[in-house]
Structure 1
């Protein structure tokens, strides 16, 4: 698979609602987030990618510092560019990149048409999720690139659900 992101066809059966996406963000909050947590979460993502043979690149940033990065077989340098663009959306909006794009679509437009932001710098495609710390707020992002955007989003959410339940 190439490093380009693929926008899946929108069907009601698979596309989560804004309410579902917002509930994910309310639910997936960390009590704290250290460099060791970044390593553990990143390692979990690598294990999940290895098990499913997902050709993804994985990135975890906190406060402007890259704490974790891995490139699985089949990922390309293009995935790193997508990671940076999706992460910037999380940093700017404080919400998951997929949720930001969904909010624009719910208004009958697209992020690219209406955000007034450079699409070479920002991408409201699925795969970047905020690292939200209880009592602090959004401090960073965990991002995956290499699958269709909804699958990237679900991959990150699934890993966060597993990580936070341990």
Structure 2
């Protein structure tokens, strides 16, 4: 189990190192969010998609099959990225590797933050983390995977 967890952590860390953009504008946020929505619709996935730059929400869409609690999950996952500068999935995985539950850490407000997959840092070359792409509605590894797939396609396009 530890080797699998270590491998998964290394994979997510590599994704975060690799998925760096040269810029991120309001129009880019719309295009990225629309790309995720398109992928989700093609696959019939019940997700809510959110894109921020700084503290500003630039894109938000809730597809059929989602509910208001997805917005709560998004807010908690985004807070994790803003606080730690890493994906919410990586934060949870690293806690698990230490034998801990992310939300049980004494410095974590579990009503405000979540170590569950789905929020990925939007990083711009030379500027660091400038925003988030967040997916909510699927199992956490799938939320994370959809965000990564979209960023890979966006970056390539």
Same fold (TM over 0.5): yes
2:138 aligns to what?
A: 147
Question: CA-to-partner distance for each residue in 1:5-26, whole Å, 9 max, x for gaps?
Answer: xxxxx89779952111100000
- The answer on 1:114 being equivalent to 2:105 is yes
Cα RMSD (Å): 1.8
Q: Which residue of 2 aligns with 1:160?
A: 151
Q: Following TM superposition, where does structure 1 have runs of at least 4 consecutive aligned residues deviating by more than 3 angstroms?
A: 10-16
CA offset digits 1:37-57 (Å, max 9, x no partner):
001001101100100111000
Distance 2:66 2:18 in 1: 30
The structure, 1 or 2, with the larger RCO (C-alpha pairs under 8 Å, 6+ apart) is 1
Of residues 33, 42, 60, the one that matches 1:51 is 42
Distance across 2 between alignment mates of 1:141 and 1:64: 9
Matches within 5 A, 1:32-47: 32-47=23-38
| Stretches of structure 1 lacking an aligned partner (at least 5 in a row) | 1-9
Task: Using the TM superposition, give the Cα deviation of residue 115 of structure 1 relative to its aligned residue in structure 2, in angstroms.
Answer: 4.8
In the superposition, the TM-score normalised over structure 1's length comes to 0.90
Matched residues in 2 for 1:28 and 1:127: separation? 15
Q: Normalized per residue, which structure has more helix?
A: 2
Deviation (angstroms), 1:116: 2.5
